[in-house]
Structure 1
Amino acid sequence: MTGCTSKSKDRSPDWALNTAAVERMQTRPTFAAGSETEADALQRFNAFYEEYTYDAIKAGVRGLYAEDAWFGDPFHIVEGIDEIEHYFLVMAEPVERCTFTVDSVQRSGDEYFARWTMELESKAAKGELIKTIGISHVKFNQDGKIIFQQDYWDSSAMLDRLPIVGYWTRLVKDRIEKGLKK
């Protein structure tokens, strides 16, 4: 019973790290809009995420991300290519199939915002297709490698389908929905 009532460790990402990373990237030079480097960088981004597998990660992560890159998503924040590669490989372990389709890319100054659709089949939720949308906020260095990426997406789309955890996330969503109907 005490596990349900005691305070647990806050496991959400430290968003001050995001703010610091954004500030650091502002001073980094990048390539010109419309350049061949830009076209190549965006093509590598799309290709890398088309099939999110262990082999694809091993083959492409170091060609896409800079040595000192920063990556954040709803679950974790990692810095440096070694940590990014490790995190991606761990996240790919339970995956049976995962694809990201980049639906659109917008540029604002020297930052990019890619809207994507993820389709995931996981060993943890056998036989269920998990589909969600998200946005990646990305900045590239002058060589066309990612130095900053923050992904925003509804992680509950995945959590809803997990045993035990899914019950609780669905319960919270149902209570919010009932509250909105009052």
Structure 2
Amino acid sequence: MTALERYGEFFAGMQPADLDRLDDVFVDNARFRDPFNDVEGIAAIRAVFEHMYANCAEARFEVLESVGEDDIGYLRWRFHFRLKRDKAARRPVDGVSRIVLADDGRVREHVDYWDAAGELYEQFPVIGGLMRWLRSRLAVATD
């Protein structure tokens, strides 16, 4: 099993208790970036995931695909979640992460790419309507 596959397994199986093991997974000065955060260091990465678990119930990542060579790889994933105030789960969010590995196999950089507007914001009543309207105004008309 490659280091990328091991990280994909960790990412897919991650639970709040696993945050105590982040130093086994990330180098000390690792960078984590997503549409909301751009942090460096294990403590800051932990804070991002603690915030996620504090606000989301049933939060989990499903790794759909991993592709990599040497020290750079990509994970295609689906994030399943429910906000704690929600009665039902939200539509899953799909994304891709670019992973840069250190020589020891730990993660040096994790950068998420996903469409926050289309995948997340559209699920909320007020902002969702605005996002759908904006998307319809910007899209090419089809016959």
Normalised TM-score (structure 2): 0.82
Higher strand share: 2
Q: Does the 8 Å CA contact 2:71/2:102 hold for their aligned counterparts?
A: no
Q: Does the 8 Å CA contact 1:125/1:161 hold for their aligned counterparts?
A: no
Does the alignment pair 1:174 with 2:136?
yes
What is the deviation of 1:40?
5.7
List gaps (5 residues or longer) in structure 2.
none
Q: Does the 8 Å CA contact 2:26/2:42 hold for their aligned counterparts?
A: yes
What are the within-5 Å matches in structure 2 for residues 1-182 of structure 1? 39=1, 41-56=3-18, 58-156=19-117, 157-177=119-139, 179-181=140-142
Q: Does the 8 Å CA contact 1:52/1:97 hold for their aligned counterparts?
A: no
CA RMSD of aligned residues (A): 2.3
- Deviating beyond 3 angstroms after TM superposition, the runs of 4 or more aligned structure 1 residues are none
Q: Does the 8 Å CA contact 1:65/1:147 hold for their aligned counterparts?
A: yes
What is the deviation of 1:82?
1.0
Larger Rg: 1
List gaps (5 residues or longer) in structure 1.
1-38
Q: Does the 8 Å CA contact 1:53/1:97 hold for their aligned counterparts?
A: no
Q: One-letter code of the match for 2:50? A: L
What is the deviation of 1:175?
2.8
Paired residues, number: 142
What is the deviation of 1:120?
1.7
What is the deviation of 1:117?
1.8
